[in-house]
Chains A and B, each alone.
Chain A
């Protein structure tokens, strides 16, 4: 289709003759959008990927459909193909996309342009890169009107654009009209993108991972916004996401995709309550939220999704499925109606989950008891401060400082996992980098194993490096692309001068065994591995020097749920075997809850609350912790409907100008005058070990403690 829809496109060829003509107009009662046996190939220099292999979906007017799946399953391709926005090399090779009775897959370029931005609006993942950096947002929001509404003047278009910006919750819209994208926060940019998609009041909004690049609180606000606009404008929605929590709370129906196919389709409650496809079941079981309790092993899905360069025979999930039989490997299951749950629920599985069973119970094996008694304090931070200068360059005057870490004290005991949680910009990463020795603190001290790191001599510090290692979020960036894995893993040993080359190679081989990678990996380059495998390599490298403490900075946030579960289990297992201590940094409350013994919550450079994980989650003392827990999208429609949640409002202030007194006061529902004048003292109303820095700690435990 690429060729067809790109007629006259910036690089496209003028080829309008191909493809069938548009179908007849839709009879009444037809769905707004019907995707019928859609096939999409993506051809690159090296191979052809059958990205979509017979997708069928229906969407009624005003309905919200969630498309969920792991990366590479084809969910984004489905969304992009509706408007003919497939990436270069992408082409529709079969099937129809009937929108309002018109086949968009076969439509000419002008016909598609007529639909895009007019009757179908689209919002993309990254609000910064998807806006034109050199155009004012006013001009960008007004653009679709000038294109699609004949006879509308510039002035009126601008007025409507401003109205739209107000509708999406942009403060001072008339002033913001003249702003450029880089002057706005991420959340505000996504609001602009939504305003742009909706300014022509489309019948359908396609949102492709619209909140993935955003923080929990912003994510919540954007989803709320889409919800309310959908109601106001009466439009249908396709919400594409990898996040089961987002899907659970925001749509009417869900399609679960796997390897270019729809595996299961159902109304949202039915799916979460009674998944039938074995893949859906396994996916749910891999969620840290669903792990029966803290400390249990997560259910993982072995292996990786198939490569779509060749069409697999049989069920695509069969190689990873615990229930697969020969029939699964020979024939491909059709999407059939669920006889038990009714026609709304369809799945493509020969051995579905028996109707009525709760999913976790049969697949999750009880874990070995890993609980180890925490030992003495290994790492102690005392009033740690880190400020970054805010300058325009070496000649420019210093224009102030960014307070990244504003006086944090905490202790991590040997053998435990300390989970540090907070939104982006809260200082958790900076804190981790200070502990790992990549940054020097502005003030305060880091004591490790009883010694102040600042007091170490050069030689001692070099030796000390061995004892604390950092595991990066993105192992791709953290590994030299020109080095083979063997060299990468040996590098720490070479630097520290440990052992002979043979010793080093033996150690490396052992580490590869430990993280579950073949020993032959040493001859390959990092880019030849998948994301999860690279994270295993990252962990292996962090462990090469047998450290006491591993600082893990968002080690699983770039991974799919099933792979995330593998890495989390591996980390837990290695902790048990090697007596490791983890400082685990993450924005993901569920992951932290699953893994951490002790939790610290950071907000704008301050540690607002810290304590044993169960206690902090069950009875948060700080209004921020509470708000954060209430904001998170729980992958369970029942919880979302419970309605006792009080999500966070507003945006995090700039760390260059943190609020006086309590830094959270600007967003706190309980804030009083004292909060602006006095920095809150640390207290322990919930018993020793559970500390909070708040003038008015919460007294009541949380009811819905699902996260």
Chain B
């Protein structure tokens, strides 16, 4: 039929009558068969261990500044990766900042997914004018690029962790909303939903028994991408001048603080937080991509 490699399963000509492994196991098998997805899981676990268990093993002063210890290069005085411009140990700082980045990312990603899913499901299920109105609102919100909106907000608000989560979720909910809306729109016309209506079932049952369970794969996959994007947003916000004031830190604020020293050659202020962001965002993307493959296989039959 086509000439892609043997990875595609041969279409159709199998007997469905014989026992097949359970859906969950097949999904898991496809996921674990994906090397990138496994890499993502390993990376994420390592970063979590580093951020949360690290401080227990590697205790550093992360509240009070010590300017006499500022900008030490790696290796000096037992500072593995040197110190920051305020004299904090870099490794210890990366651990603390990692907690902030991960927590904001997870919270904002989940919040955006939750709100976006409900918004999209309502819009898609009701359809018609409700849908048209709700979708124009998301269009308008999408039309103003997130970064511009964030800068304006940064000029108005002083941030805290909670504020950051809300701001990020406020720009991030749009993509799950559109995605779930599309899903709901197609699911509500499926024959099994029609069959259910014919038995006398109503809208609530359609949404919660049929539409949401069948859209859950899309939602979960998108959620991992949302978390990745939220962590990126945290770093962009820091770059744009919107981060939680010290002594708190996240990887983004560490990176943008390091940019000031590009000319001085203080590479240890730039690369460790930068690479940490890249790794954690990539890890979530790898996982999301693996999940997408796994869920698709599950639905293919």
Contact = CB atoms under 8 A, between A and B. Distances in A.
Interface of A: 2, 6, 9-13, 42-46, 49, 51, 71-72, 76-77, 80, 85-90, 304-305, 307, 394, 436-438, 462-463, 465-466, 469-470, 472, 474, 477-482, 491-492, 495-496, 525, 527-531, 533, 541, 545
Contacts of B6: 2, 43-44, 88-89
A528 B210 contact: no
A472 B16 CA distance: 19
A10 B3 contact: yes
Contacts of B11: 87
A699 to B, nearest CB: 43
CB-CB nearest 3 A-B residue pairs: A9-B3, A11-B4, A492-B199
Contacts of B190: 477
B72 to A, nearest CB: 54
A477 B192 contact: yes
B25 interface: no
B10 A482 contact: no
B96 to A, nearest CB: 42
Given A72-B13, A307-B18, A394-B128, A495 B201 contact: yes
6 contacts: A10-B4, A12-B3, A90-B10, A480-B210, A527-B16, A527-B301
A85 B1 contact: yes
Given A42-B13, A49-B14, A88-B5, A495 B200 contact: yes
Contacts of B195: 470, 472, 478-479, 541
Given A11-B2, A89-B10, A530 B198 contact: no
A491 B192 CA distance: 11
Interface string B4-24: 111111111111111110010
Contact of A89 (B9, B209, B214): B9
Interface of B: 1-20, 23, 128-129, 132, 190-192, 194-201, 205, 209-210, 213-214, 299, 301
B213 A482 contact: yes
B17 A533 contact: yes
B9 A45 contact: yes
Given A72-B15, A89-B10, A530-B16, A481 B214 contact: yes
Contacts of A45: 7, 9
Contacts of A472: 191, 195
Given A72-B15, A527-B16, A527-B301, 4 more contacts: A6-B3, A44-B10, A88-B4, A528-B16
Contact of A466 (B10, B14, B200): B200
A12 B3 CA distance: 6
Contact of A394 (B9, B129, B192, B301): B129
B214 A482 contact: yes
- Scoring A6, A9, A87 by chain B CB atoms within 10 A of each residue's CB, the highest score goes to A87
Given A88-B8, A307-B18, A394-B128, A496 B199 contact: yes
A305 B15 contact: yes
B175 to A, nearest CB: 23
A305 to B, nearest CB: 7
Contacts of B4: 10-11, 88
A45 B7 CA distance: 7
A632 to B, nearest CB: 27
A86 B17 contact: no
